[in-house]
A and B are shown apart, each in its own frame.
Chain A
Amino acid sequence: MSSVLAQAAPAEVVGSSAEFWVFVVAAVIALATAISVVMLRNAMHSALMLVGNFFVVAVLFAVLEAQFLAVVQIIVYAGAIMVLFLFVLMLLGVSSELTFSGRVRGQRIAAVLAGLALLIVLVGAAAGPFLGADAICPAPETAGDLCAGLSARNADGNVAGVGRLLFTDYMWPFEVTSVLLVIAAIGVIVLGKRHLEEDTSDVGVSTAAALAAPEPNAPRGELVAAGTDGEEDQT
């Protein structure tokens, strides 16, 4: 394949250097924001870093010729899902965590080691075979048909291509998805409604009110007390 690259005339440039630089910048920002999500102690800062990560990954989607999913990523992830996260964070008033380490001794080091082992396995097994020059898209005419065909399927536009596939080959999963969304909506309504019926006093959630208010059934009071005891022990 290197001989093919060596023969490549300037007219048929393999890939584009613009994609390379966009990938480098986006990859650096994506990794930095992802690590910030994990490292920052304030949950609100983590959420904002996650929004940045979603935007950068949307840029990568657009580079990978998935324009529809890039827009969906911004609308659904950076729009709807992150608004839900921020809404819950502000509703609960979650402040920064005091400590990262859990009950298990050496949990952080073990987690990082396990993550690095998984990273090595994933890069070696999944990314390793495609690191060569023959996995560069769009492939030159002489490089075989590894990634030929996407431009043909995107001839009417990426939205039309995905939509055509979605309403022909994937019709049944698409319908099941609608059922899933309805079930999720009903589940959320049920989950949100139950406690409003039980104790209407503390709709604006406050820990002190939840602790002070005598619960109708005894185990829940014990449960709250046990929870705070455990928290005090750890901190």
Chain B
Amino acid sequence: MRGVPIGWYIALSSALFTTGLIGVLVRRSIVVMFMCIELMLNSVNLALIAFSRLHGNLDGQVLSFFVIVVAAAEVTVGLALIVNMFRLMGSTDADVPHRLRS
């Protein structure tokens, strides 16, 4: 067995994305849900870089770079929101904030 087809990288990326999605759907702690979102972003980066190699240009790597930058900005704002939510509710459970429903 020699070489790795790009499809294997895409398949691995799909598996990582699916794992992150299941984590977001299953977990209740908002921090862990956030980590799973990072997992999904990371898997998309892997797919972008794999396709960039397949097509022989660097545009996918540049897009992946932008994804990393946006993820950094998103993490800072999201974690600030989580800290604020913990100060308000005293919990990081995703089911606790249901004020709008009642």
What is A's interface to B at a CB cutoff of 8 Å?
Answer: 13-17, 19-20, 23, 27, 30-31, 34-35, 37-38, 43, 46-47, 50, 53-54, 57, 60-61, 64-66, 68-69, 72-73, 76-77, 80-81, 84-85, 88-89, 91-92, 94, 97, 99-103, 107-108, 110-112, 114-116, 118-119, 122-123, 126-133, 135-137, 145-150, 153-154, 158, 161-162, 165-166, 169-170, 173, 177, 180-181, 183-185, 187-188, 191-192, 194-195, 202, 205, 207, 210-211, 220, 223-224, 226-228, 230-231, 234
Chain B hits for A34, CB < 8 A:
15-16, 19-20, 39
User: How far is B87's CA from A202's CA once the two chains are assembled, in angstroms?
Assistant: 9
What are some 23 contacts across the A-B interface (CB < 8 A)? A13-B3, A17-B2, A27-B12, A61-B46, A64-B50, A64-B52, A65-B53, A66-B61, A66-B64, A73-B42, A100-B27, A110-B25, A112-B22, A114-B22, A115-B21, A132-B5, A136-B2, A149-B57, A161-B58, A184-B73, A184-B76, A188-B76, A195-B84
Chain A hits for B9, CB < 8 A:
23, 60, 64
User: How far is B97's CA from A147's CA once the two chains are assembled, in angstroms?
Assistant: 49
A69 touches B27 (CB 8 A): no
User: How far is B19's CA from A32's CA once the two chains are assembled, in angstroms?
Assistant: 10
**Chain B residue with minimal CB distance to A104?**
B25
Give the A-B pair count, Cβ closer than 8 A: 314
**Chain B residue with minimal CB distance to A46?**
B32
Which of A43, A99, A165 makes the CB contact (< 8 A) with B58?
A165
**Chain B residue with minimal CB distance to A207?**
B90
Chain A hits for B65, CB < 8 A:
68-69, 72, 162, 166
A94 touches B31 (CB 8 A): yes
B16 touches A30 (CB 8 A): yes
User: How far is B49's CA from A158's CA once the two chains are assembled, in angstroms?
Assistant: 13
Tell me the interface secondary structure of chain A in the complex.
helix
User: How far is B64's CA from A222's CA once the two chains are assembled, in angstroms?
Assistant: 44
Q: Tell me which residues from 25 to 71 in chain B have a Cβ below 8 Å from any Cβ of chain A.
A: 25-29, 31-32, 34-36, 38-39, 42-43, 45-47, 49-50, 52-59, 61-62, 64-66, 68-71
Number of interface residues of B (CB under 8 A): 85
Smallest Cβ distance from B12 to chain A, in angstroms? 5
- Given contact pairs A65-B53, A114-B25, A137-B53, A180 touches B73 in the complex (Cβ within 8 A): yes
- Given contact pairs A60-B46, A97-B27, A16 touches B2 in the complex (Cβ within 8 A): yes
Chain B hits for A224, CB < 8 A:
88-90
Tell me the interface secondary structure of chain B in the complex.
helix
B90 touches A38 (CB 8 A): no
A-B contact sample (14 more), CB < 8 A, given A38-B27, A223-B99: A34-B19, A38-B19, A61-B45, A65-B53, A88-B83, A94-B31, A107-B25, A112-B22, A119-B15, A123-B10, A130-B10, A132-B7, A165-B62, A181-B72
